[in-house]
Amino acid sequence: MKPQLKNAKPFLRWAGSKKQLIPILSQYWDSSYNRYVEPFAGSASLFFNIAPSAALLSDINVDLIATYSQIKNNLPAVIRSLYKLKKSPENYMRIRAMDPSKLSPSTRAARFIFLNRYCFNGLYRTNRAGIFNVPYGGDRSGDLPNKLHLKACSTCLKTARLVSCGFSTTLEAVVPGDFVYMDPPYSVKAQRVFSEYDASVFSEKQLKLVKQWMRKLDRKGIPFLVSYASSNEGEFLSKGFYTQVVSVKRNIAGFAANRRRSDELLISNVHPSKEGEIL
Ligand SMILES: C[S@@+](CC[C@H](N)C(=O)[O-])C[C@H]1O[C@@H](n2cnc3c(N)ncnc32)[C@H](O)[C@@H]1O
């Protein structure tokens, strides 16, 4: 890793972040790959860790990608707006109530980072009208990311093309030489987790499309890694590919008090050259 990128770690809290799996996930990346592609970027924990020299990052969340663009291209203006915002439950509600379409792109990004830091459990949830509606949860959420941290992320993002779109659009742009990491939302039945990102649900149909893309990437000889909760749906994704089972701590139903260990499947068309259980 280049020395100036050593502070690059996610600056957002994100439901389903793979922060705790980075030491294992990063073993699938090889610096001989031309480009890193992540169609379900979220807080982009693997991207910031490996700091690739070229990347394509995308997510369906328009505000998330707009925030990354501002951190990449307009950092001083984001910093000026961000540190004017002071933490308190009242300020949180006032800032949450602002109409983001009336704000400049940098102030809008600052608002996004502020709300993400001080909302309940770092969730991103909107109502039917697309208005962010997560309650305040700032008492135990730590501080805003500092300038040095944001600067490191900005430097890291300079190598990335940022696009807000559905995963298929991104995967259509993949070419030989790329490496693809996919971390789709869980669509496991009877779990609330899928509603943590947006009003829309990641459906079984979309999961089948992910599987079709895995087969297509494999046929083209493009290496990929998919992470997914151990479940019937996870088994479906893993069939025909190398699968490693790892244990993770998860907040059940979004509540930190309900943290339990559960299994995550790491599915790839490249044999993971490390110890661990391979299905
Ligand atoms: C499990 S999170 C990714 C977490 C990420 N790996 C990290 O470490 O933070 C899944 C992401 O997929 C995004 N997403 C949901 N549906 C999508 C779709 N149809 N196309 C692209 N992204 C989508 C969500 O906005 C969310 O950020």
Do residues 156 and 51 lie in contact, with contact meaning Cβ atoms separated by under 8 Å? Answer: yes
* Residue whose CA is at the smallest distance from ligand 1 atom 27: 42
Six-digit token pair at 66? 């707009």
Place of tokens 């479940």: 231
Amino acid at 277: E
Six-digit token pair at 217? 């990437």
61 in contact with ligand 1, CB cutoff 6 A: yes
122 in contact with ligand 1, CB cutoff 6 A: no
45 in contact with ligand 1, CB cutoff 6 A: yes
Q: Taking the model in full, what pTM does it have?
A: 0.91
14 in contact with ligand 1, CB cutoff 6 A: yes
167 in contact with ligand 1, CB cutoff 6 A: yes
196 in contact with ligand 1, CB cutoff 6 A: no
* Residue whose CA is at the smallest distance from ligand 1 atom 18: 166
pLDDT digits (tens, 9 = 90+) for 12-59: 999 999 999 999 999 999 999 999 999 999 999 999 999 999 999 999
- Domain boundaries defined on the chain: 3-268
59 Cα: distance to centroid of ligand 1 (angstroms): 6
197 in contact with ligand 1, CB cutoff 6 A: yes
pLDDT digits (tens, 9 = 90+) for 71-105: 999 999 999 999 999 999 999 999 999 999 999 99
Other C-beta atoms lying within 10 Å of the C-beta of residue 204? 12
Give the model's confidence band at 259: pLDDT under 50 very low, under 70 low, under 90 confident, else very high: low
60 in contact with ligand 1, CB cutoff 6 A: yes
Distance, in Å, from the CA atom of 146 to the CA atom of 63, rounded to the nearest integer, reads 21
Query: For residue 148, what are the contacts with CB-CB under 8 A and spacing of at least 6?
Result: 7
Report which ligand 1 atom has the smallest distance to the Cα of 40. Answer: 12
pLDDT digits (tens, 9 = 90+) for 190-248: 354 444 454 456 889 999 999 999 999 999 999 999 999 999 999 999 999 999 999 98
Distance, in Å, from the CA atom of 4 to the CA atom of 111, rounded to the nearest integer, reads 27
pLDDT digits (tens, 9 = 90+) for 97-138: 999 999 999 999 999 999 999 999 999 998 888 889 999 999
Place of tokens 């972040």: 17
Report which ligand 1 atom has the smallest distance to the Cα of 206. Answer: 19
Distance, in Å, from the CA atom of 234 to the CA atom of 174, rounded to the nearest integer, reads 23
Distance, in Å, from the CA atom of 107 to the CA atom of 174, rounded to the nearest integer, reads 33
Assign 3-state DSSP to the chain and report helix, strand, coil percentages, each to 5: 45, 20, 40
Backbone angles phi, psi at 45, to 5 degrees: -65, -35
Do residues 264 and 229 lie in contact, with contact meaning Cβ atoms separated by under 8 Å? Answer: yes
Query: Nearest Cα to 226, choosing from 169, 83, 235, 150?
Result: 235
Other C-beta atoms lying within 10 Å of the C-beta of residue 16? 19
**Which architecture characterizes domain 3-268 according to CATH?**
3-Layer(aba) Sandwich (3.40)
For the chain, how far is it from start to end, CA to CA, in angstroms?
Answer: 32
